[in-house]
Amino acid sequence: MPNPEIDIDLDEFRGILAEALAEGGTQPLLRLTDEEIAVLDPESLTECVAPTPRIAELSGQEREWVYATALRSLVSREAVEVANIEELDAVLRAAEARRESGETPAEGTDPGSRPSGVDLDLRITPEVSLVLTLRRTAARALAVEQHTSSGRTHLLVYVHADDLHLVERVTSGGLHMFTLAASAQDAADMALLFVDPFEVAAKDGPVQHLTPEQISQQNVGRALGEAIDNALVVGQTVLLADTPGPLLTTYATDQALWTVYVEKPHALTGIEARPVGKNTLRALITKLISPS
């Protein structure tokens, strides 16, 4: 199955999108599941930074079943058109028969390694093609992990231009929600709500300078130590680019939000911790997305 492609120059494509965003502003796009992404763009499972938590939990046989279901969903939602529909129907019926009979794959094979048993001729809708293209062609991306008692979720900001960002939120169940953001500030606002969902970032406090040794030995002072121990939401935000970017870790308790900012990975200095308010947190995230 071919990778998603566009038939115009990529820079021209980005320019057209930026103009549309300038008129309409930040706007939500579509939602896809892990399985649907695997069907639409299988290479992205290993080449894209966005996780696919649902796929990772499945065996090869289970993947074959869920891929068949994902194909049904994509076709019924008219997200794709399948030219060789008869072959698709045969594959879906065969997968269903194997599932009902409890048939397992032959030893050494992995039927889940491909989304189907035929070379599907998929015609992807423009909106789906847009999402698949933007998530694979960004020069840099902001990756945010949110850790709570319910599990781990992710948010990715793919940076294409000052006025063009694709935001992808990935739930722990493997649902991917996409939004086009018209500015770094809009993308930062989405990331801010992600790391501070209870909006406890109230006010700025004094800066505390730390060393890597203090962090590794958990010798970070009483206030920060209590924030770490009592955090309801822990966020890790890093800029993914050719040159590793800063790392921002957030600890949100029921009363305040602390940040630990590492300017350069493995540096002996440049580590700052402090409680922050909403405006400072937004500024930190915006600077990560758009350093200039």
Question: Quick one: which of 189, 146, 196 has its CA closest to 167?
Answer: 189
Asked if residue 106 has pLDDT above 60, the reply is: no
**Which amino acid would we find at residue 103?**
E
- Look at residue 26 in the predicted model and tell me its pLDDT: 85
- Look at residue 177 in the predicted model and tell me its pLDDT: 97
More confident residue, 25 or 185: 185
Asked if residue 46 has pLDDT above 60, the reply is: yes
Phi, psi of 250 (to 5 degrees): -120, 145
- Look at residue 7 in the predicted model and tell me its pLDDT: 45
- Look at residue 119 in the predicted model and tell me its pLDDT: 60
Question: Quick one: which of 155, 145, 171, 157 has its CA closest to 249?
Answer: 145
Average pLDDT for 145-157: 95
Tens-digit pLDDT profile for residues 240-276? 988 777 899 999 999 999 999 998 877 767 899 999 9
- Look at residue 257 in the predicted model and tell me its pLDDT: 98
**Two tokens at 190?**
């989405």
- Look at residue 2 in the predicted model and tell me its pLDDT: 42
More confident residue, 71 or 144: 144
Tens-digit pLDDT profile for residues 72-81? 888 888 888 8
Cα–Cα dist 82/116, whole Å: 13
Where does the pLDDT of residue 93 fall: very low under 50, low under 70, confident under 90, or very high at 90 and above? confident
- Look at residue 1 in the predicted model and tell me its pLDDT: 39
**Strand (E) positions, the chain?**
27-33, 80-82, 122-124, 140-148, 151-161, 164-170, 175-181, 208-210, 233-240, 247-252, 257-262, 271-275
Are 246 and 262 in contact, with CB atoms under 8 Å apart? yes
- Look at residue 88 in the predicted model and tell me its pLDDT: 66
Average pLDDT for 193-210: 96
Sign of CA dihedral 175, 45, 181, 250: positive
Cα–Cα dist 181/193, whole Å: 15
Tens-digit pLDDT profile for residues 108-137? 444 444 444 446 677 888 889 889 999 988
Where does the pLDDT of residue 285 fall: very low under 50, low under 70, confident under 90, or very high at 90 and above? very high
Percent of the chain exceeding pLDDT 90 equals 46
Are 174 and 33 in contact, with CB atoms under 8 Å apart? yes
- Look at residue 174 in the predicted model and tell me its pLDDT: 93
Phi, psi of 134 (to 5 degrees): -65, -35
pTM for this predicted structure: 0.84
- Look at residue 141 in the predicted model and tell me its pLDDT: 94
